[in-house]
A and B are shown apart, each in its own frame.
Chain A
């Protein structure tokens, strides 16, 4: 068992894909670095914090991107975002069985804020184009830094999100909310509060994550493989169904102030026990309780 949470972007790809099948595009030897970080005397990375390439998953042809949280929290800058957009657009030409996004990102890289924001928008357009062309885009979220900001939106544009309990998914990170709105709005140091608000278990119960797996690279691999046969549906009726589901979420839980309230309303007995259950026990406990 290899922890997905603790692994690097390259380590995760090595464990996820068929051995030796990854061919990286614009690898670090090409030294395509951010042109903006030097202005701030900030060190650059030769891959700008993202690995993109082609590989095989149980023999199926996939395109992959993996964000490296160890470099600036996986934040999206001009080059980082352009690599992701280029990879997604490559799928339009090469028609793989799917695109896997191993997300780990705080969102827009504030050091090159405008370029990062526009880059995320370009990634969004590209994800939507790939899905509209019938190729599934699958998100894996279980890294140390979670997935926030624009990448939190990107993730939910995709066909499915696979998370571990350790994964986190949201829009504004707890620190940003605390810094801007005050500690009484969101105490980012309250680990239990953070995990039960943006962590994998709650996201799975809400229906934001399609699959919840153990913190194990091979568990992510199996989940990704199972989702490759998913056919993207971007029709009006699919969006009307999503609209109805989001209406129902607002109606049922709009007045809840804590995840525990939501879990209780979902009919989970002793909701305060959920955070301590291991993944298998958790899944057994909540199997018919998801929103």
Chain B
């Protein structure tokens, strides 16, 4: 879905969202609630400039619009893979963005993510995956790495990886697998404004993803193991 259609469907009451290349931000209204929007298009790789810019936009919302919910609409093929970004400490820029999102959360901003294009590894970790709740459009794609690259790194033949991808929720890219594992709260279909309004109304507390993953059968051990380490007497 192109950005204009997406924004019109999310904010039928209107929005002021300005694009600058692959980046956009602004605010939209859904059933009377102002929502800050920060995002990217075109599966863009997130390098240090973009991470920095998004962090600045989050800080601006915290400063100027206390309590305003934030919707992250980040479409990314992952972190930018470049020597120059590593040289300048891209992990520090990504962490800074993550800290800004967490600051907003702690200051009472509801933070939601909606994966509308792609969401991949580092670019996903520092953005929508850190929201209070992350949602996805059904045709969005979520993954860690493409299969050929994975095959080279793990030394497992591509044919074997392809075969496993057909059945394993842990392994295969895809929004449904991430939903089963608890990282995607729900898929948004039909009336997107209603989906958004509903998500804004649900109370959030803590990180529910392990419990969701267990309940949905996608991750059987994460909650149990974390709980044991937290509570076991030593």
Contacts and interface: CB of A to CB of B under 8 A. Distances in A.
Interface in B37-92: 48-49, 52, 55-56, 59, 62-63, 79, 81-92
Interface string B195-228: 0000000000001011001000001111111111
B155 to A, nearest CB: 10
Nearest to A30: B228
Given A128-B98, A149-B122, A115 B81 contact: no
Interface string A42-76: 00000000001110000000000000000000000
A126 B210 CA distance: 13
B121 A108 contact: yes
Interface string A147-179: 001101111110000000000011110111101
A253 B219 contact: no
Given A172-B79, A177-B82, A242 B96 contact: yes
B81 A172 contact: yes
A26 B229 contact: yes
Contacts, number: 262
A102 interface: no
B82 A54 contact: no
Given A83-B229, A117-B144, A239-B96, A177 B83 contact: yes
Contacts of B209: 118, 121-122
A26 B156 CA distance: 30
Given A156-B95, A236-B107, A250-B48, A39 B222 contact: no
Contacts of B145: 110, 113
B224 to A, nearest CB: 8
Contacts of B223: 82
Contacts of A254: 88
Contacts of B56: 243
A247 B49 CA distance: 9
Nearest to A187: B83
Name B's interface SS: helix
A171 B150 contact: no
Interface stretch (A6-14, A84-92, A268-276, A278-286): A84-92
B177 interface: yes
Interface centre among B90, B156, B226 (most CB of A within 10 A): B226
* Size category of the binding interface on chain B: 35 or more
Interface string B97-122: 01110110011000000000000011
A206 interface: yes
A171 B90 contact: yes
A117 B81 contact: no
Contact of B221 (A79, A114, A172): A79
Contacts of A53: 234
A54 B93 CA distance: 31
A82 B49 contact: no
B226 A249 contact: no
A186 interface: yes
Contacts of A197: 83, 86-87
Given A86-B228, A113-B170, A250-B48, A118 B91 contact: no
A185 interface: yes
Contact of B103 (A25, A54, A236): A236
A256 interface: yes
Contacts of B194: none
A54 B98 CA distance: 28
A236 B93 CA distance: 16
A265 interface: no
A171 B171 contact: no
Contacts of B79: 171-172
Given A118-B178, A256-B87, A236 B222 contact: no
A208 interface: yes
B144 A247 contact: no
Contact of B171 (A114, A198, A259): A114
Nearest to A54: B234
A166 to B, nearest CB: 17
Given A124-B98, A153-B95, A153-B126, A83 B225 contact: yes
Given A124-B130, A171-B122, A243-B55, A176 B226 contact: no
A-B interface, 4 closest residue pairs, ranked by CB to CB distance from nearest: A86-B229, A156-B95, A86-B226, A152-B91
20 contacts: A52-B229, A90-B230, A111-B154, A111-B156, A118-B129, A118-B181, A118-B183, A118-B213, A118-B222, A122-B207, A125-B102, A154-B95, A171-B79, A203-B89, A208-B92, A234-B106, A239-B99, A246-B92, A246-B96, A259-B87
Interface of B: 48-49, 52, 55-56, 59, 62-63, 79, 81-96, 98-100, 102-103, 106-107, 121-122, 124-126, 129-130, 143-145, 149-150, 152-154, 156, 160, 164, 168-173, 177-178, 181-183, 207, 209-210, 213, 219-232, 234
